[in-house]
Amino acid sequence: MSKQNQWIVGVNAVASSIEKDPDNVREVLIEAGSKNARLVEIEENARRKGIDVRRVAAQALGGVAGQVRHQGVVARYAAAKLWGENELEGLVEAAEGKALLLVLDEVQDPHNLGACLRSAAAAGVTAVVIPKDKSAPVNATVRKTSAGAADRIPVVAVTNLVRCLKDLQKQGVWLYGLAGEAEQTIHQLDLRGNVALVMGGESDGLRRLTRETCDGLVRIPMPGDVESLNVSVATGVALFEAVRQRL
């Protein structure tokens, strides 16, 4: 598992992280000499929660914040622990024929990714697989939306998603992609063995190569007059159909 730090920038973002997720705030840097009441409030709240606070020059804050307006405060935040690609095989083996994987193909909205991770944790998934490129990073927003799930379940970021899917197939994992135009519904599948549910991104759904690599495509039956579900909602529905069958 790899772990790194991220920087949260600006009054509202830093105040929110201190209030809602203080365990992952490593330190707060505040502009020296500033008398801004909000900054004083942030400093006091951080110290109350045992977070290190340092007063630094505005230039130092600018160096951390880059092009983002820092408003006199930044916080160093512990990024979520990501699992390495080489660890995925062991996770599947340890599940002893009952691996349940969630694969997210280019889900780019951090709120959607966080909601997917929350559903995955509730469903007891073995691991969540995301591509390293064109996917929302597991950042502060994702962790907050996931209600801590991003730190509880293995999230594996892979360089080549299709290659990863083919490796999973070699391990005996069946891959089912969710697609609105599929003939078979998810309720007709047997989801009790080694299974990966593959969800497409917000704008284009499953990419062509991802779709072609799947063992089958399935849809969620929707008798109502709606074209498609939000990816995080669809993820929850699909995962808990698997949970229902496994129970």
Q: What does the alpha-carbon distance between residue 102 and residue 196 come to, in Å, rounded to a whole number?
A: 6
Write down the residue that tokens 């997720």 correspond to.
21
d(CA 136, CA 134): 7
114 half-sphere exposure, CB direction, 13 A CA radius: 14
Is 90 exceeded by the pLDDT of residue 40? yes
Summarize the annotated binding site for S-adenosyl-L-methionine as residue ranges: 200, 220, 229
pTM as predicted: 0.77
Q: Which residues are annotated as a binding site?
A: 200, 220, 229
Among residues 162, 177, 100, 109, which one has the least CA distance to residue 137? 109
Q: What is the pLDDT of residues 134-183, one digit of tens each?
A: 898 887 778 778 877 887 899 999 999 999 999 999 999 999 999 989 99
Domains of the chain: 5-78 (3.30.1330.30), 85-246 (3.40.1280.10)
Distance CA 217, CA 169 (A): 15
Q: Grade residue 4 by pLDDT with cuts at 50, 70 and 90.
A: low
The two structure tokens encoding residue 59: 């230039």
